């Protein structure tokens, strides 16, 4: 797509070069979305590639993913063998889009675009991730993944602020097992419900990262493995207006799909407990 309204192209090496942020500027990471449709409101593109924020780092605290990390790099990276929960990150890449897109799109770009069908957002919620946000003056602050997106294509980011990196604590990587469930109208279609289930075998804790069906990602937690009835009870306690209601699927339908995917996710992870499946 030719962005005819763009007049200026910046390639800063640090945030000091873009402190005077303007309302018609736009960050450019992978570019798979911004070049996908006309952007009449954008006059200046600020290319992030020279900031060198594409790292994948394993450290004593866990995992750090730079905002401009290309999604497909998560598939090729050699994570510690004990980090079973990283399977959810790989599923987020596989379930998101085509091979061509995953070789250009960035992890941070997907999160900041904040589409309801984002596969990364519910993964980060389920794994208790934190996002490091940098302000134009160089100061930073952290926000929990579940609090980052506020509505479809809306986040807490203020003008000029930028996602620097995603941090996932080591405890949620090495001690949790994950299941990724996604439902769409057609195989390669827009997701209308996504549930990422994280299960801790020792403590029996369960975390559900909910996306696709809701206007912003949600976290549902249980202190022990929930029954089908308990999942249904929690789902129906939530107001129906948190669900998306459009031509792809009504709110009640998405609510039902969310419940089904939660049940399937925990059933998959707890199969064999007490010698039988629980669902």
Tokens 């996604």, residue located: 182
Whether pLDDT at 4 is above 50: yes
Alpha carbons 175 and 262: distance in angstroms, whole number: 20
Please, what CATH class does the domain formed by 53-172 belong to?
alpha beta
What pLDDT score does 102 carry? 77
* Maximum pairwise Cα distance, the chain: 65
**Which residues neighbour 195 within 8 Å (Cβ) at sequence distance 6 or greater?**
122, 181, 208, 209, 210, 211, 258, 261, 262, 264, 265
CB 102 within 8 A of CB 96: yes
The token pair at 254 is 């998405």
Enumerate the β-bridge partners of residue 27. Answer: 46
CA proximity to 67, closest of 140, 176, 152, 150: 140
Residue 57 CA neighbour count, 13 Å, CB half: 12
Enumerate the β-bridge partners of residue 177. Answer: 199
Mean pLDDT confidence for 68-83 = 95
What pLDDT score does 199 carry? 98
**Which residues neighbour 257 within 8 Å (Cβ) at sequence distance 6 or greater?**
183, 192, 193, 213, 249
Instruction: Delimit the domains of the chain by residue range.
Output: 8-50, 53-172, 176-275
Architecture of domain 176-275: 2-Layer Sandwich (3.30)
Whether pLDDT at 273 is above 70: no
Helix (H) or strand (E) holding 120: helix 120-126
pLDDT per residue as tens digits for the range 180-235 = 999 988 766 789 999 999 999 999 999 999 999 999 999 999 999 999 999 999 99
Mean pLDDT confidence for 73-90 = 95
What pLDDT score does 58 carry? 97
């Amino acid at each position: 797509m030719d962005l005819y309204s763009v007049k200026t192209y910046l390639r800063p090496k640090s945030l000091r070069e873009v402190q005077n942020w303007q309302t018609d500027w736009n960050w450019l990471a992978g570019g798979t979305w911004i070049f996908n449709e006309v952007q009449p409101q954008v006059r200046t593109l600020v290319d992030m590639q020279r900031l060198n924020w594409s790292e994948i780092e394993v450290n004593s605290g866990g995992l750090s993913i730079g905002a401009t990390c290309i999604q497909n790099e998560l598939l090729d990276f050699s994570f510690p063998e004990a980090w079973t929960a990283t399977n959810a990150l790989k599923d987020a890449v596989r379930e998101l889009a085509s091979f061509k897109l995953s070789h250009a799109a960035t992890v941070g770009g997907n999160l900041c675009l904040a589409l309801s069908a984002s596969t990364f957002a519910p993964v980060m919620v389920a794994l208790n991730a934190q996002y490091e946000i940098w302000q134009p003056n160089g100061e930073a602050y952290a926000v929990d993944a579940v609090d980052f997106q506020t509505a479809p294509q809306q986040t807490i980011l203020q003008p000029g602020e930028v996602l620097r990196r995603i941090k996932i604590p080591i405890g949620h990587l090495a001690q949790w097992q994950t299941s990724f469930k996604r439902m769409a109208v057609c195989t390669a279609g827009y997701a209308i419900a996504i549930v990422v289930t994280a299960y801790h075998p020792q403590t029996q804790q369960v975390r559900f990262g909910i996306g696709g069906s809701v206007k912003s990602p949600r976290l549902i937690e249980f202190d022990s493995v929930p029954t089908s009835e308990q999942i249904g009870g929690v789902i129906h306690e939530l107001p129906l207006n948190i669900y998306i209601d459009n031509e792809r699927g009504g709110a009640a339908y998405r609510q039902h799909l969310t419940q089904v995917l939660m049940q399937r996710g925990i059933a998959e992870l707890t199969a064999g407990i007490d010698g039988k499946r629980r669902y």
